[in-house]
Amino acid sequence: MDKKYFNVIIASTVVVYILSMFYVPLMDIDAAQYASISREMLERKSYLQLYDLGKDYLDKPPMLFWLSTISMKIFGIHDWAYRLPSFLFSLIAIYSTFRLAYIFYKKEIALLSALVLATSQAMFLINHDVRTDTMLMGWVTFSLWQLAAWYATNKWKYFLLGFIGIAGGMMTKGPIALMVPVFALVPHFILRREWKQFFRWEYLLGIFIIAIALIPMNIGLYQQFDMHPGKIINNVPIKSGLRFYYWTQSFGRYTGENVFKEMNEFTFLLQNMLWSFLPWIIFFLIGLLLNVVRLIQDKFKLAQKEEWITTGGFIVTYCVLARSQAQLPHYIFIVFPLASVVTAKLLYKLLFTSEFKKLQNVLAVFHFILFGLLWLAIIGLMYWPFATIPKFVSIIALIFFIVYLIIIFRKKIKCPKLLLAACFTTIGINAFLNTEFYPSLLSYQRGSMFAAYIQNNKIDKSNIVLLNENIGHSLHFYSNHIYPIVSLNELNNKEMVIAKKDSLPLIMQRFPSATVITEIKTYGVTQLSLPFLNPKLREKELIIYDLIKL
């Protein structure tokens, strides 16, 4: 692969990541909630105990909040400042994927591995809808690279950095950051018959390094929960924050102790990979199948220069996550770097050798049609659903589609057409989504829209309350203020209240002189539907909220 093409593709991808950081408002629930917690940490200067709108918080470890708080301390309370640390960790994940692959494969495959991860749909998503998974992916991929380098060279610096990476991941999302390297390395050792790798004394030192790194977090958990047992989290009394973190939150998903039970089908994560690992999902599935078939043919034994860290790490992690009683689509993102290496191995054989010539032709036709349909869809999204998107944007999208057609029909291109078409499609489509579609969609998100109205009209935030519900953490974050939630009986006539329009008659009964300052039409933006996207049917899908002066 011509390195010039690689550099242009990666640079274009990073530009789209950056655009999303500035153009797309934070989405409720998770991203806006975590940004709000980070802002609250900065305001309270409470760095070991976590609070969410003034209440004890016990769900995610503190690493994301620590780094986002530092970023907002330096740059101010902005959504892009909250996202900045996670953006940097996405770059770490991409580079670590390259370095991990380069330990075992030629440089071309390593470059392809980084390219596949960078241009996967999940990476574009988690650079604006920032949860813990972006940072977790960076820590885990970095630790795998370092541990694989230690395995290959026996150098201490790789060992130390590998376990520091695991500790960072554990402070980001829990024990899964330790389990993934185990899931990746153990099958590799078994298939290589390297039994001595299971009995190295250095592992004890690694556990000690992790334990030392976790001390600040453990102190915070102990002070906030273990010293005050019985605090109610998710309607459950918590006896020990330490036990919750190290056991209930992760392993409790299998024992039934965890309160969350959703999406527990074994194929749920794979179903979501059909979109989240676009445009590479078909290549990955074929590459994974070929790796398994070859292992069977080799009687479950690897040759000296072969590796099973990537394939085995993905399979074992998937099986473990898929057996959980609570799953969400982004849970599998942690092993997308491993999936990228598997994909890159197949792409190299398909595009740069003659080993799978017939398969290449079939896959090329299928993907050229698929990418063409995606471009037609994005043209429609730029033209039809939202009047706020200027009509010339759909013309620009049409021009991009024409360029795509030129790519696939032009005879002489130095970069393989299939590779270039895939990257051009995913980068281009996400550029349109991040700069036009998502901002227009999020103009229906009640929290951020009320925050904008309050800020623009310089309304005194201290006099505003919410009736019966939190309408979204984006309201609190973008207002740089926590609004109290009250019942109807707790209202007083000096206040302004944000409430559903349905509540207006009840409010008027108690406060006859109440007046509506503004009303905002809202929609649950994370649950798109065709009726909402249809401008003619949208009105029926909207929920109206009022800002009322009592």
Which helix (DSSP H) or strand (DSSP E) does residue 406 occupy?
A: helix 391-409
pLDDT value of position 95: 98
pLDDT value of position 263: 64
Structure confidence at residue 167 as a pLDDT band (50, 70, 90)? very high
pLDDT value of position 244: 87
pLDDT value of position 40: 96
Structure confidence at residue 76 as a pLDDT band (50, 70, 90)? very high
By C-alpha distance, which of 361, 372, 445 is closest to 403? 372
User: Both tokens of residue 425?
Assistant: 């499609």
417-432 helix and 336-352 helix, angle to the nearest 10 degrees: 140
User: Both tokens of residue 88?
Assistant: 């940097």
Three-class SS state of 521? strand
By C-alpha distance, which of 122, 139, 98 is closest to 13? 122
Q: What is the pLDDT of residues 104-115, one digit of tens each?
A: 999 999 999 999
Backbone angles phi, psi at 233, to 5 degrees: -125, 125
| Average pLDDT of span 427-443 | 96
pLDDT over 70 at 53, yes or no: yes
Three-class SS state of 130? coil
User: Both tokens of residue 246?
Assistant: 């190290």
pLDDT value of position 302: 87
Structure confidence at residue 250 as a pLDDT band (50, 70, 90)? confident
Backbone angles phi, psi at 63, to 5 degrees: -55, -50
pLDDT value of position 249: 76
The DSSP secondary-structure symbol of 306 reads: -
Q: Determine how β-strand 515-522 pairs with β-strand 55-56.
A: unpaired
| Average pLDDT of span 524-537 | 91
| Average pLDDT of span 91-111 | 96
Neighbours of 355 (CB within 10 A): 11
Q: What is the pLDDT of residues 137-149, one digit of tens each?
A: 999 999 999 999 9
pLDDT over 90 at 414, yes or no: no
Structure confidence at residue 412 as a pLDDT band (50, 70, 90)? confident
Backbone angles phi, psi at 468, to 5 degrees: 70, -15
Residue-averaged pLDDT of the chain: 93
pLDDT value of position 218: 94
By C-alpha distance, which of 207, 214, 205, 144 is closest to 172? 214
Task: Please tell me which residue, 412 or 550, carries the higher pLDDT value.
Answer: 550
pLDDT over 80 at 42, yes or no: yes
By C-alpha distance, which of 478, 486, 482 is closest to 447? 478
By C-alpha distance, which of 414, 423, 411 is closest to 4? 414
**Number of helices and strands in the chain (H, E):** 25, 9
Backbone angles phi, psi at 547, to 5 degrees: -100, 115
By C-alpha distance, which of 311, 309, 315 is closest to 332? 315
Q: What is the pLDDT of residues 195-234, one digit of tens each?
A: 999 999 999 999 999 999 999 999 999 999 998 988 888 7
pLDDT over 80 at 262, yes or no: no
By C-alpha distance, which of 243, 376, 258 is closest to 327? 258
Structure confidence at residue 258 as a pLDDT band (50, 70, 90)? low
pLDDT value of position 357: 85
pLDDT over 80 at 499, yes or no: yes
Instruction: Provide the sign of the torsion angle of the four alpha carbons 349, 353, 359, 361, taken in this order.
Output: positive
Q: What is the pLDDT of residues 320-361, one digit of tens each?
A: 998 877 788 889 999 999 999 999 999 999 999 888 888 989
User: With contact defined as beta carbons under 8 Å apart, do 185 and 145 qualify?
Assistant: no
Q: Which residues contact 460 (CB under 8 A, 6 or more apart)?
A: none
In the block, tokens 């227009």 appear at 440
pLDDT over 80 at 528, yes or no: yes
Q: What is the pLDDT of residues 279-336, one digit of tens each?
A: 999 999 999 999 999 999 988 898 878 899 999 999 999 999 988 777 888 899 999 9
pLDDT value of position 328: 85
% of the chain exceeding 70 in pLDDT: 97
pLDDT over 70 at 93, yes or no: yes
Structure confidence at residue 253 as a pLDDT band (50, 70, 90)? low
pLDDT value of position 486: 93
**Rounded distance, CA 251 to CA 178, Å?**
13
Neighbours of 179 (CB within 10 A): 21
By C-alpha distance, which of 346, 361, 400, 354 is closest to 377? 400
pLDDT value of position 233: 83
Structure confidence at residue 385 as a pLDDT band (50, 70, 90)? very high
Three-class SS state of 516? strand
From residue 21, give the alpha-carbon distance in Å to each of 72, 322, 355, 373.
14, 31, 41, 27
Backbone angles phi, psi at 270, to 5 degrees: -65, -40
The CA-CA-CA angle for residues 9, 81, 139, to 5°, reads 65
User: With contact defined as beta carbons under 8 Å apart, do 498 and 464 qualify?
Assistant: yes
pLDDT value of position 125: 96
CA atoms within 13 A on the CB side of 483: 30
pLDDT over 90 at 465, yes or no: yes
By C-alpha distance, which of 432, 525, 442 is closest to 16? 432
CA atoms within 13 A on the CB side of 6: 16
pLDDT over 70 at 387, yes or no: yes
| DSSP string of 70-139, one letter each residue | HHHHHH-S-HHHHHHHHHHHHHHHHHHHHHHHHHHS-HHHHHHHHHHHHHSHHHHHTTTS--HHHHHHHH
pLDDT over 70 at 431, yes or no: yes
Buried b (16+ CB within 10 A) or exposed e, 144-154: bbbbbbbbeee
Q: What is the pLDDT of residues 365-383, one digit of tens each?
A: 999 999 999 999 999 999 9
